[in-house]
A = this chain, B = another copy of it.
Amino acid sequence: MKINSIRSIRRTELSKAAFEAVVQFGLRGTTLDRVGDIAGVSKGVVLHHFKDKSNLLEAVFRRSNSILSESVVELYRYAESSHERLWCVIIANFASVIFNKRVCQAWVSLISEVPHNKQCQRIQIACNARIQSNLTYSLKNFLGNQDAKDAARHLGTLIDGIWVRSGLLVDPVDSSRAISEIQFAVSKIIPNGAISQEKHIIAREKIESIASIVLGSRAFQEKLLKVISK
């Protein structure tokens, strides 16, 4: 880690710069020169640290997904019941540090790299599988095995749908609106008998308030950096 430190620092800086370029100029407008400009180095440096543009974009993609995964892990530490664990996964996906216009639009731009990039596919599949398994695990407390799986798949797809729409449509991205859309789905999926709505809302609100503090904190950001620069 000591040996690679400069390299990994540069890789982190450059993928941040690349992300910024995607935010500002879209995927088609993101050139190596611009990425270099934003990072304050020459284009050559970019290609010195990443073998090519696909490799760079892949790093950006991995970065965004890591932030998401780590957020779930972090929130899990504070969860004390299965409802709370369920809401950890959901809130992590829609906490405003993560879920906002810039990021959603960048994500929509980035995913166009996936179909023709095996590595990105791998990342996406892993990330999806993890979210789904987290959801399934929590849902098994309220539903039978097969129902829990179906419901987890359903919620996962819905999360992707909300992300895509937030990136595509012009209306402002709104965390609480996104969450209440999920709440709508959850309330339909989990039969009223299994668990009272109130308990769910309490769990959601607890995790939501933890998320707004924890995910935005300096400590968490620094923790992330270590994970991300791998």
Contact = CB atoms under 8 A, between A and B. Distances in A.
Contacts of A185: 154, 185, 188
A153 B166 CA distance: 13
A158 interface: yes
A113 B169 CA distance: 12
Interface stretch (A5-13, A20-28, A68-76, A89-97): A20-28
Report the 5 A-B pairs with minimum CB-CB distance, sorted nearest first. A161-B161, A112-B112, A26-B116, A157-B161, A105-B115
Interface of A: 25-29, 53, 105, 108-116, 121, 124-125, 128, 150, 153-154, 157-162, 164-165, 167-170, 181, 184-185, 188-189
30 contacts: A25-B116, A26-B112, A27-B27, A27-B112, A28-B28, A28-B53, A28-B112, A28-B116, A105-B115, A108-B111, A108-B114, A109-B112, A114-B167, A114-B168, A115-B167, A115-B168, A125-B170, A150-B184, A153-B181, A154-B158, A154-B181, A154-B184, A154-B185, A157-B161, A157-B165, A158-B158, A159-B161, A161-B161, A161-B164, A164-B164
